[in-house]
Amino acid sequence: MSLTSAIPGNLAAEDTQHLAIVFEDVALAFDDIVVLDGVSFELKRGETKAIFGIAGAGKTMILKLALGLIKPDRGHIWVLGHDVTEMREEDLFELRRKIGMVFQESALFDSMTVRDNVAFRLIEEGDVPGDELDKRVREVLRFVELERTIDMLPSELSGGMRRRVSIARAIITQPEVILYDSPTGGLDPITSTTIVQLIVKQRDVYKTSSLLVTHRLQDAFTMATSYFDTKTNEMKPIQPGSNIDVKTSFLILRDGKIILDGEAADLTATKDEYIKEYIA
Amino acid sequence: MELISPVDIAKQMVMAVQDYSQLAARSLSNVFRRPRYVADTLVQMDQVGVGSLPIVVLTGFFTGAVLALQGSNTLDRFGSLSLIGQLVSISMVRELGPVLTSLMVAGRNSSGMASELGSMKVTEQIDAMRALGTDPSKKLVTPRVLSTVTMLFFLTMISDLVGLSGGAMVSTLMLGLNSNQYWSKAWQSLVWQDVTMGLTKPIIFGFILSTIGCYYGLSTKGGTQGVGKATTQAVVAASVLILVVDFFWTRLLMTMIGS
């Protein structure tokens, strides 16, 4: 476990090649409001890191910074070995094709059908024939159990269904990194569990690295204590004594700084009063 | 209400001009870069061109008609009513055709672009597009600019022709002029300087109204209220800019190619 900043300064690009995402002393402020202040952490390849914090703690900003959608005021961010803080917007588009993002409000294109939303990346890449495209869209919609909605518009779907379509859109090209922004926020417990199961499935079946912003501690604990059984096609709890490593860690933000970066055991064993209150 | 210092206002204005200039420049440079969105451009051409046709035809027709009606009063005093064809054709082709068509298309399409892109901005669809590796300036802005510039050029020609027809109708049915006389005067009075002036304007105005619409759409902030504000600002800014640029472009062309 590491408390607060753990990454040494002045990382070279080659030091970040084996890591999915590295934040090094990142600061961000809007006018006089400090959102992030010297945030440093790393996400290993294949690892899932759940980010917690109260509303306005800068969790979503971490995801947007990682995608290069906004630039930090200070610090460096490496994604798959590329320093996104130094890259031009035109160069970032190529890198973003290796990253999937599930937005908080789904951000589906409301004038396109589910098929066109999910296939957007493949259509843009332009080298996938029509029948292959249709096959891949159906395959990924089957993964999120929404194949029947293929010809529907986003406005015809429920909030949970839109979130699942958003996940399908993010994973259709099997990106190396997925960023989830509150994927279970505002959903009922049953739909939330379905989405957590999808995230666990993506983590365990495809070994995708991911950052997961969430308010729901129980979702992250479920992820840290469960694995996806490909034989039965369902999520199962890890039995005590089992050697299954689900590579899930926790990161807590407070006042723009990281106050915990560790595993589930570190979280439960913490002596920090704020964290104890947070997880209570 | 919080007061903003004049320095901050000046900074915001400079930033806005800088952002607009960057967007306008990128919309042009994207034409030479891949990928090119031909299908999106054709869809926009249909929306801007075919969609604006009824209002452009109506505006052009009644502008030509009222020009003939108003002009006849003055020309009659000097016994030159036969010159009405010349008055209508020069006024329509050089000035009223391009300007009024552009103002109508600005009212219809700058607002449409600002509200469409503004809604996409506030619902994070623009960010989603960037996150999916697609450049919104290539997919959304350039097709709108290209289609508006192209279609406004043809819409202006239609407006000129329909305006002349409106003038012809008033001249023959209400003023009792000979139709052949009207059309021959209208045709003979036009020189290449008039046509150059009249047909370069829609290209410039089309570029202005589409880039302004896209700029206000993409810089929308503050939910649905922000979308409404962006829409209004886009129409106002595009209309004012069209009239201002019209003056300077006319002056420049008069110096360069003669009046």
- The minimum CA-CA distance between A177 and chain B, rounded to whole Å, is 12
pLDDT of residue B1: 61
Average pLDDT over residues B50-61: 96
Its pTM stands at 0.88
Average pLDDT over residues B172-178: 92
Q: For the ranges A42-51, A117-126, A234-243, which has the lowest average pLDDT?
A: A234-243
Q: Which of A136-145, A263-272, B30-39, B140-149: highest mean pLDDT?
A: B140-149
pLDDT of residue A117: 96
The string of pLDDT tens digits covering residues B143-159 is 999 999 999 999 999 99
| A178: Cβ contacts below 8 Å, ≥ 6 apart | A99, A100, A101, A102, A170, A171, A202, A208, A209, A210, A211
A105 vs B: CB within 8 A: yes
Of A94, A99, A103, the CB nearest to B124: A103
The answer, yes or no, to whether residue A11 has pLDDT greater than 70, is no
Q: How many other β-carbons are positioned within 10 Å of the β-carbon of residue B186?
A: 24
| A137: Cβ contacts below 8 Å, ≥ 6 apart | A115, A118, A119, A122, A150, A172
Share of chain B above pLDDT 70, in %: 99
Domain boundaries, chain A: 13-98+181-279, 107-174
Flag whether the ipTM exceeds 0.90.
no
pLDDT of residue A3: 38
pLDDT of residue B259: 67
pLDDT of residue A4: 39
- If pLDDT is split at 50, 70 and 90, which confidence band does B244 have? very high
Q: How many other β-carbons are positioned within 10 Å of the β-carbon of residue A214?
A: 23
The answer, yes or no, to whether residue B35 has pLDDT greater than 90, is no
Q: How far apart are CA A145 and CA A234, in angstroms?
A: 13
A107 and B134 in contact by Cβ < 8 A?
Answer: no
- Please give the DSSP secondary-structure letter assigned to residue A166: H
| A180: Cβ contacts below 8 Å, ≥ 6 apart | A102, A167, A199, A210, A211, A212, A213, A214
Q: How many other β-carbons are positioned within 10 Å of the β-carbon of residue A153?
A: 16
- For chain A, the average pLDDT equals 88
pLDDT of residue A269: 81
Chain A residues whose CB is inside 8 A of the B132 CB are: 96-97, 101, 120-121, 124, 169
A121 and B131 in contact by Cβ < 8 A?
Answer: no
For A179, the closest chain B residue by CA position comes to B131
| Residue bearing the bigger pLDDT, A241 or A110 | A110
Q: What is the CATH number of domain A13-98+181-279?
A: 3.40.50.300
- If pLDDT is split at 50, 70 and 90, which confidence band does A10 have? low
- The minimum CA-CA distance between B105 and chain A, rounded to whole Å, is 23
Name residue A112's amino acid.
Answer: M
